[in-house]
Each structure stands twice: as C-alpha cells, then as structure tokens.
Amino acid sequence: MTKITTCIFDAYGTLFDVAAAARELANEPGREAFCAVWQQVANDWRLKQLQYSWLRAVARDHCDFWNVTGDGLDWALERAGLADAELREALLGLYWQLSAYPEVPAMLAALKAAGVQTGILSNGSPDMLAGAVQSAAIGDVLDAVLSVEDVGVFKPDVRVYDLVGQHFGCAPGEVLFVSANGWDAAFGAAYGFDTLWVNRAGEPMDRLSGQPGRVASDLTGVPGIAGGE
C-alpha cells in the first residue's frame, strides 16, 4: 500500500459548513420570514451553486466562484419569494465567515503533527478561501490553499486535480482526497487519489465512473486513515 504523504480537502461542505450563513441569519431578531424558509434557501443555494459551476465548465463559460455563489443565491431567494436586497447582502457577507465543522481544527493539527502535508483544493476563488480560512483560524495547519482559478475551470475537470501533484510533487496514490461531495470524491477516485467521502447526510452513492474508497460521517477519522489504520 502506498504511503499517504498529502491530505487534500474540498472546502465548502467539507471543512466549512455552507449552511451556517443561512442558519445564523435566520436566528436574528426580525428575520421571521426568512427563518420559516432558511433550510430551503440554504439547500437551493448550494444546489444551484454546484449546478452553475458544472454548466459553466461544460460550456467553457468560466467566471469566478463568487459570481456563481451570488447567482445561486438569487435563484434560491426568488424561489422562496424573498426579493430582499438587504437579506441578500447579509447572506453573502456571512459567506466570507463560514464556520468550520467542530472536528476540523484538531483533525488538521493531528495530521500536521504526524508529518502529513495538508491543503485545500476548491472551486472557491482565492479571496473567498482566504476569508474562510482566516475566519476559521486554520491557516497555521494548512500547507496550501489551491483554487480552480489557477486553471480557469471548475471541478471535476482533471486539470483541477492536477494542481495537487503540481504543487506538492506527489503521485495521486500518495494523496488522501477528502470531500463531502459524493461526485467530487468519485471523480477524485477515478483520477487516482485515495479518497474519503464525508457523507454527513447519509446519502446514496453517486453512480459515476469512480467510487470513493472510504465513507465516513465526519472528519474525525482522517488522521488514522492517513496513518494507515
């Protein structure tokens, strides 16, 4: 078995809780209308954000992830009947301060203590990712934050996965690639990464050309997997 030298994480939904922005705003006084539909908005927002990234990749019509994020939110708010410019700006503002899942800091620290290289590989634009990393205070346990903007196309284009080897100088089999997106984990596995799908919602496996080698409900076990347990 090839030794894992590098552990690479998707960002949104994997390290950072993408529902946090909507959930936190829904709890504010005066947000009763939004509170009633925040879960629908959060789900629609994330779904459209991903769909638009895939469609733009196929159409070779790239824009940065911030624009995709705004477009997805506009669709979600319109579907919920919330034409509220102030609400839109508040939600987008919170997206720069997403909370990390509770197990993330200790998990990353354990990887670094074991001598494993760590990084993010994300559709997010560099400034968005920098804001999230700073807000979650995990910059000191990450060796790199890699953005698709370096190649101008969204995942799952193989040029995105190529960024890992180009940066770290490692073979795909030396990489443990961790994503909460089943499709991302599947294509990462097809690319040659050792993969872990973080299936927090207990969803079915995607029917794609690859399948993740492992499935877990959270990130707690990542250091053990990287260490060969």
Per-domain boundaries in the chain: 6-16+99-226, 20-97
pLDDT of the chain, 229 residues: tens digit per residue:
689 999 999 999 999 998 888 888 999 999 999 999 999 999 999 999 999 999 999 999 999 999 999 999 999 999 999 989 999 999 999 888 888 999 999 999 999 999 999 999 999 999 999 999 999 999 999 999 999 999 999 999 999 999 999 999 999 999 999 999 999 999 999 999 999 999 999 999 999 999 999 999 999 999 999 998 7
Q: How far is CA 38 from the centre of its chain?
A: 20
Q: Which two tokens stand for residue 14?
A: 């994997």
User: At 222, which helix (H) or strand (E)?
Assistant: helix 222-226
Dihedral of CA atoms 180, 183, 184, 185 in degrees, nearest 10, equals 70
Q: What is the pLDDT of residue 228?
A: 84
Q: What is the pLDDT of residue 229?
A: 75
Picking from 104, 106, 113, 115, the residue whose alpha carbon sits closest to that of residue 174 is: 115
> pTM, whole model, 2 decimals?
0.95
CATH architecture of 6-16+99-226: 3-Layer(aba) Sandwich (3.40)
127 is catalytic: no
Q: 10, 17, 64, 184: which is the annotated catalytic residue?
A: 10
User: At 146, which helix (H) or strand (E)?
Assistant: strand 144-147
d(CA 112, CA 102): 18
Q: What is the pLDDT of residue 1?
A: 65
Picking from 213, 198, 193, the residue whose alpha carbon sits closest to that of residue 104 is: 198
Q: What is the pLDDT of residue 46?
A: 93
Q: What is the pLDDT of residue 17?
A: 92
Please state whether beta strands 6-9 and 175-179 pair in parallel, antiparallel, or not at all (unpaired): parallel
d(CA 47, CA 152): 21
d(CA 212, CA 215): 7
Q: What is the pLDDT of residue 21?
A: 80
Beta bridge partners, 151, equal none
Instruction: Quote the CATH superfamily of domain 20-97.
Output: Putative phosphatase; domain 2 (1.10.150.240)
Total residue count of the chain as it appears in this document = 229
